[in-house]
Copies of this chain bind each other. A is one copy, B any other.
Amino acid sequence: MKAIQVQDDQQLVLADVERPELKPGEVLVKVKAVGVNRADLLQAAGHYPPPPGTSEVLGLECAGVIEDAGDTDREQGEKVACLLAGGAYAEYVAVPQGQLMPIPEGYSFEEAASVVEVACTVWSNLGMLAGLEPGQTLLIHGGAGGIGTFAIQLAKHLGLTVAVTAGSKEKLQACKELGADVLINYKEEDFAEVLKNKCDRILDIIGAKYLDQNVKALAKDGHMVIIGMQGGVKGELNIGRLLSKRGTISATALRARDLDDKANIVRSTTEHIWPLLAKGVIRHHIHQTLPLEQAQRAHQMLQDGEVTGKLVLSV
C-alpha cells in the first residue's frame, strides 16, 4: 500500500510499504481522510516517538471504511472514525476496535477524520476528569486554537462562564463569536489579576510559564488540567496557595493511554459529544483539504501558522 514516510532529511514522501497486519481485536480500515495535528510535526521532527508496539507511520485520527473486520464483530463496509496511536497517513490502518467511532450524523469523512482528537481531548479532560457544572467559570488558554474553540462551544452549551486568553484582537473576537464571556489579551493583561480566585476549571496548554498564575486564578475547589507544555516543563508550585483553595492540578495526554482507557474515552465522547456535533451545537471548521501526497505541504502550512481550522489529508 501507499503510505507517507519520513525521510532522513525529515521530508514527507509517499512510498510503498506493507499493509499493517491485524492483531487480535483490531480491524483494518481503508482510510478516506486523515486529520493533521501539531503532534504529527513533532513526530516527523523526531521529538514524539510512537508508543511501543504501535505504527511508525504518522497520523493520530482518520475516517474511512472497514475493509477487514478481523476477529471482531464489526462489519466490512462500515463507515468509521478512528482514534489512533499512529498509522493514519496511509491507505490502510489497523485500529483496535475500542477506538472505532461512528461518523457523526451529517459529517463528511473529512470532517469526521479531523474532529476525533480534539473531541476526545476536550471531553476526556473537561467532561470526564475535571467535570463541568453549570454556573462554573472555565478559563481556556489559547482560546482561538483547535482545542480552545471546541472547548468554548462545549462549555457554553453546558452553562458555564468562559474566559479565554489569546494573543490578538482578531483571535479574541473569534472566541467571542463562539460565546466566550471574558476576553484577555495575554500580551496586554495579566490573566491572574483579572481572574484571581475566580476559575473553577482551567484548561492549560502552556505548562510551567503559567503554573503560578493559574494557581492564583483558581477558585476554591478549583481544578486545572494541563494538556500542553508550550511554556516549559518545570515550574514553581506554590503549594500553600493551592492548599488555601483546596485546588487540584492534573496533567494528561491521550496517546500513551492503554486500550481500555482509550475505549472508555471513545465510548464516552461518542455518547456526549457526537450528538452535539450532529445538532451543530459544536461547529467544527476545516481550513483546507489536501491530497495525502501533499502531506509535506500541509505540515509546512501548519508550521507557518497560516491555518485557522483543521487541515485534512484525503486519501
Contact = CB atoms under 8 A, between A and B. Distances in A.
Interface of A: 207-208, 211, 226-227, 229, 232-240, 242-244, 246-253, 256-257
Nearest to A250: B248
Given A229-B239, A233-B238, 16 more contacts: A226-B242, A229-B240, A229-B243, A234-B236, A235-B236, A237-B237, A237-B249, A239-B251, A243-B253, A244-B253, A246-B251, A247-B250, A247-B251, A248-B249, A248-B250, A249-B250
6 contacts: A207-B240, A235-B236, A236-B236, A243-B252, A244-B256, A249-B250
A48 B283 CA distance: 51
A268 to B, nearest CB: 16
Contact of A239 (B207, B244, B257): B207
Contacts of A227: 243
A67 B33 CA distance: 74
A25 to B, nearest CB: 21
Nearest to A242: B251
A226 to B, nearest CB: 6
Contacts of A257: 246
Nearest to A238: B234
Contacts of A250: 246-249
Given A234-B238, A238-B234, A253 B249 contact: no
A242 B236 CA distance: 14
7 closest Cβ contacts across the A-B interface?
A: A243-B251, A233-B240, A237-B237, A242-B251, A248-B250, A246-B252, A249-B249
Contacts of A244: 253, 256
Contact of A233 (B239, B247, B252): B239
A97 to B, nearest CB: 23
A33 to B, nearest CB: 29
Q: Which of A207, A236, A243: most chain B Cβ within 10 A?
A: A243
